[in-house]
Structure 1
């Protein structure tokens, strides 16, 4: 896989670079459809390689299908994540959609190398673009959605939005309005016939792959892990939808940053004391 700088050097559109934690950076094309066709193909090649490493499964068939369907032509924003060593370590992107009269950000294919999972790098990138989109939405609720079989992704939604705003819920029925959003999203994904709206389960979501993950990730909440094991087969997924509001999400992101800063200050003090 080429280095990030070698990959993008010939591109007709340069990305906007965003600082992340641990010296990593996000590179954003907003939108990516204006890239030359050859440059899009270079991105697909890099995606095949980094996603195969991230998921531990051959992702060539997946990206062949996504490129034929115009993945990069449809995204609102696309991001690569790269480190100080110039290595591409992750990617994400999202679509801004209207579902049942609600603005919804659909997070498309997303991943990071195994050694960087649960490090907060991807969450930091999400925080940056969520702030932008929340300010754009103003007083209106903003929904974030993703098709996933990964409990770690669900837990991230759960932490930001809270139990009563994350669907499917571990303990409550999915509201009718959210079911309708799920139906419209599944139809947009061309998987409307595979959706079970009351549970937001998409049966055979990844049936063009043997399994999306070589080994299914787990989060640090046993209840979430158990829920996913009980309801999903290796080729199934949930449509996870979370309702965000400007005050509540801003409070969460601010306290998260403050907590990280306090932990950093405490660690520096302990090093000096030692």
Structure 2
């Protein structure tokens, strides 16, 4: 098998996909805007089409993360996929979201684009990442400040560990038979943010509570964090969907594809916090 190009190779799922592949002896080409001295890294910028063809040389499959912070990424991704096909790339696995359905515009447009452009494909549609509770994202800052602020109300989400996403994505990239499907990925239990806050408090001994605000208030809060207005509005709308119950479900996809049960939220908190 030729190398697999991992876009967003230094990100949350990209690093884990790369590790999954290397453990199985698969060559990895890490695409990043700022490559280091590692020979496995190659410069890649969605906004610079001249970086696309060199990154695709000798590649058999692509793990694709859309441009971060772009509300309608298809116009940037479409010419890249066309270039990939010209270079003989057969398979693409794209990271989407369980909350975003296939659509004509926005992130959902990528699902049809990959399905209709690539000979072999898979769409990963994970629920909200457990990793959002750590690091430097707004939610993680809220956790450290002791108050999780969302527009979700009592709505529940089956948070998923990025390691489990990478396990399914890795199989979708290398399994002999192409998956050619969308994978809805969740953790083993749906939780409200109030329940998640209670688990964090119980496991860490720190005071953490949940406060609900309106979607408009959340969008303004995200803009204050530096997120573009259109992207902040989309994120706030997703919170409102959670409030309506659209994410209160659990799937067995991780177990079926990766052959192991997904990590629970409590297990994640014990390890990461």
Question: With structure 2 as the length reference, what TM-score do the two structures score?
Answer: 0.28
More helix by share: 1
Question: With structure 1 as the length reference, what TM-score do the two structures score?
Answer: 0.28
